[in-house]
Amino acid sequence: MSRATVLRIGTLTWLVFVWVLLWGNVSVANIVGGLLVAILITVLLPLPRVPVGGRIHVWSIVKLIGVSLWYAAQSSVQVAWLSVRPGPPPVTGVLRCRLAIKSDLVLTLCVDVLNLIPGTLVLEVDQVKRTVYVHVLDLGTDKAVHQFHRTVRRLERLFIEAFERPAEWAPDTVDTPRKEPS
């Protein structure tokens, strides 16, 4: 079975699953109705092809998930403390981070993880320069700024290890015209 076929089956299965969840009970009618709606959606509203290349490194993904969960938990505690501590509100600001991630898909995944960390919100992504502008809740000290940059660098390194190791990475060629050999 080709990668495209597996992707289509996965998409249809996910849409049927969501349909059944929305209706609240599992029945043959809901599954068939969900399948019809899923087919209609994928035919009438197709998503653009996302270029996916390279290899997935399972151990690196496990580390990435663990570190992301740790950062989310750690940040949640910090945000909770900032909300109940006595004193003035925290100093907020926008920080710029340049990333070495090459793939648009991996860049999007990294931005999603940054948005999941409480106290941060990615405001803008400069796709050409590979720069993200992130609003950070607590920038009251130089230590907090350096800690944020360390967090971004570690996530960036983990994403590169998991999805685009330099020895294996090549530009995606979904929409790039190919030259025929002479």
Q: What is the pLDDT of residues 21-47, one digit of tens each?
A: 999 999 999 999 999 999 999 899 887
Q: What is the pLDDT of residue 48?
A: 77
CA 98 to chain centre: 17
CA–CA distance, 47 with 101 (Å, rounded to integer): 23
**Regions of the chain short of the pLDDT cut 70:** 50-54, 166-182
Vertex 113 angle, CA 110 and 116, to 5°: 155
Q: What is the pLDDT of residue 99?
A: 95
Q: What is the pLDDT of residue 182?
A: 45
Vertex 163 angle, CA 70 and 1, to 5°: 120
Contacting residues for 102 by C-beta, under 8 A, at least 6 apart: 130, 164, 169, 171
Half-sphere exposure of 136 (CA within 13 A, CB side): 25
